[in-house]
Structure 1
Amino acid sequence: MSYSSSSSSLSDQLHLLGKVEVFRLHGRDKAGRNVLLIVGKYFPARFVSSQAVNVYLKDKIFPLLKDGPFTVVYIHTDVHWTENLPGISNLKAIYEAIPITIKNNIEAVYFLHPSLQTRVFFATVGRLMLDAELYNKVKYVKRVEFLWEHVRRKEMDLPKFVYDHDEKLEFCPVMESDLENDYLRVFSPSPSLNSGVSTYSMRCFA
């Protein structure tokens, strides 16, 4: 079936969200709290509206989270801006529709494999969009191994592509360090005129 947020019915969009399982309660954190797992790569941004997301969360997810504190694990691995991110206006609409009781129950948001662009986005737009209290609960996690410091490893199954990405970072840490350092050089008040692509280890991009 072909989906489009502008042409598909609400029921079709809800069915799609349930099928891809972008949101699901899965595992517990180290304190025994439930974990809401969100796999960004699975989010069909082009095919569902913010209304459909809000209805799905209200009917399928929020009832499971209303009774006490919980933790969010958001997986950003292999997320593409045009395919998997709903856009600023839709993000705002989704966030504003979350009941205050649910927001207050969030203990922490662990953001796995954040891209540099996403970190910049959250440091600017996200800071304005989110409540200060929730914004301060977002914790960036570069590697899966560090995620296990916060959630129970034996109770959480992550997609294979998450581990594949981790292996790439292990083989070539320049992917997460030099690119970020270069961004900071470019946007610093006095960037070095001698810094450039030549500073990278090109074997990591072969």
Structure 2
Amino acid sequence: MLVTVEKGAAGEPALRLLERSRAITLQGRDRKGRAVVRIVGKYFPARALGGRAEEALRAYLRERVVPEIGGREFVVVYMHSRVHRGDNFPGVGAIRAAYESLPAADRERLRAVYFVHPALQSRLFFATFGRFLFSSGLYEKLRYMSRLEYLWAHVDKAQVEVPECVREHDDELERRPLMDYGIEATESRCMYDAASMDTSASLHSLRCVS
């Protein structure tokens, strides 16, 4: 049964909006036989959810994702390509709250988080604030994958559907490798680099920790 959280900005029930977006789906197994939860950042309907993104994310994990995993060990493949804070990023505070809302046993079964296409700012942010914002159990499971080819060392490519926007970004990085270091700007840079972190949510999270 789909539990209905308060409606998003567009009037559609929040959980149904998340389900329809396919931002978070269970897809196959990794090379160690663990379930794979694929998260496509570009698909997350943060703007449509408005101020209910955190509540909807927690409820969706609890009502849909965790029951589907069914007590198995699992990994998360998070595709950060073409993420923009104003459109499809729920904020660091929402991600932290969603993770911490999971039962301890479920958090323990999470074995790795593969962060695909991290922008330079994302790396610097987590290197600086990651240990304050997240528990060591989550922070130590974070693995950066600058290219899809590195992800395939951990997950068979036949097991995970890769959206075209992610493939296009991967190809662009191959052609323009300086983008990894924030040196070479592009017309759409703001979509996955400078605006990739939710500053206000992050500062709020830091205040909560302190």
| SS of aligned partner of 2:172 | helix
Partner of 2:86: 82
How many residue pairs match? The answer is 179
Moved over 4 A (4+): none
How far apart in 2 are the matches of 1:141 and 1:68?
Answer: 24
Contact kept in structure 2, 1:27 and 1:152, CA below 8 Å? no
What residue is the counterpart of 1:127 in the other structure?
A: 131
1:194 matched to which residue of 2? Answer: none
The answer as to whether partners of 1:66 and 1:101 remain within 8 angstroms in 2 is no
Contact 2:99 2:107 in 1 (8 A): no
- Residue 46 of structure 1 corresponds to 47
1:165-185 CA distance string (max 9 Å, x none) = 1111111111113x2xx6xxx
Cα distance in structure 2, aligned partners of 1:139 and 1:92: 17
- Normalised to the residue count of structure 2, the TM-score between the two structures is 0.77
Mark the runs of 5 or more structure 1 residues left unpaired by the alignment: 183-199
- The separation in 2 between residues aligned to 1:79 and 1:121, in whole angstroms, is 15
* TM-score normalised by length of structure 1: 0.79
Percent same amino acid at aligned positions? 39
Structure 1 counterpart SS, 2:47: coil
User: Aligned pair in 2 of structure 1 residues 130, 52: CA closer, same or farther (>3 Å)?
Assistant: same
How far does residue 93 in structure 1 lie from its aligned partner after superposition?
A: 2.6
Distance 1:111 1:173 in 2: 18
Which residue identity lines up with residue 42 of structure 1 in the other structure?
Answer: Y
- Helix, strand or coil: the match of 1:68? coil
Aligned to 1:188: none
Residues 1-206 of structure 1 mapped to structure 2, 5 A cutoff: 5=8, 8=11, 12-48=13-49, 49=52, 50-177=54-181, 179=182
Which one has a bigger Cα radius of gyration? 1
Counterpart of 2:113, as a letter, is V
Q: Encode CA deviations 1:61-117: one digit per residue, 9 max, x unaligned.
A: 111224121111000000011212222433333232122111100111100000112
1:140 partner SS: strand
CA distance in 2, matches of 1:88, 1:166: 24
Q: Quick check: 1:4–1:46 contact (8 Å CA) kept in 2?
A: no
Are the counterparts in 2 of residues 74 and 110 from structure 1 also a CA contact under 8 Å? yes
CA RMSD of aligned residues (A): 2.2
Q: Using a 3 Å threshold, how does the CA distance of structure 1 residues 13 and 172 change in structure 2: closer, same or farther?
A: same
Where relative contact order (Cα < 8 A, 6+ residues apart) is larger, the structure is: 2
Q: 2: CA distance between counterparts of 1:137 and 1:30?
A: 16
